[in-house]
A and B are shown apart, each in its own frame.
Chain A
Amino acid sequence: GDSVTQTEGQVTVSESKSLIINCTYSATSIGYPNLFWYVRYPGEGLQLLLKVITAGQKGSSRGFEATYNKEATSFHLQKASVQESDSAVYYCALSESQGGRALIFGTGTTVSVSP
């Protein structure tokens, strides 16, 4: 079936350092999935960070970037220099491009940025 894998459950990084959160996916029944990164900041609801709907394209938001790599079936999230305010739980997700379909989430990666 279709699935999303985030290998790191928890990541600790120092402020101003770089961050990579790995995400790979399997889309056996979806030809051209849409890919998303959602984020949940402490005390807040889940919110969209960025999305990419076309293979080979890069999405960016709030200093984060992710490239839709169809060959590697990956959608890693990166930031060159993190801030303490980036501490949150990050979720990778995919869906079919057809309307209103289910999002399939990864298990989430908790990022703690230390000052």
Chain B
Amino acid sequence: GPKVLQIPSHQIIDMGQMVTLNCDPVSNHLYFYWYKQILGQQMEFLVNFYNGKVMEKSKLFKDQFSVERPDGSYFTLKIQPTALEDSAVYFCASSFTAFNQAPLFGEGTRLSVL
């Protein structure tokens, strides 16, 4: 079946550096999401994105975070600069419609900020 792909599965970066997390959503999907899960805690919504724009974002979506989907390719989450508390697993998701449809999730990228 269709899959949301997140590569690589693990990224290690020094604090203060910039990192871009890539997500390859399902090709005909129109809505895109990022979630964050710190080890041992629940998965929390960061942001959703439709038609080239952020629709809503949570308080976890700090000013250092940005999202984009240039040319309809990868959906990216950029963190600049990174902080130690950004260490977490980041999950991308996508859905075709929004109304009553459950998003399809990727396997996540573990970000380790040293």
Contact = CB atoms under 8 A, between A and B. Distances in A.
Nearest to B37: A105
A44 B107 contact: yes
Between A34, A36, A98, A103, the greatest number of chain B beta carbons within 10 A of the residue's beta carbon is seen for A103
A34 B101 CA distance: 9
Q: How large is the interface on B (under 10, 10 to 19, 20 to 34, 35 or more residues)?
A: 20 to 34
B106 A45 contact: yes
A contact patch SS: loop
A55 interface: no
Contacts of A99: 31, 97-99
Interface string B45-89: 100101000011010000000000000000000000000000000
Interface residues of A, number: 23
Interface of A: 34, 36, 38, 44-48, 51, 53, 91, 97-108
Interface of B: 3-4, 31, 33, 35, 41-45, 48, 50, 55-56, 58, 91, 95, 97-100, 102-108
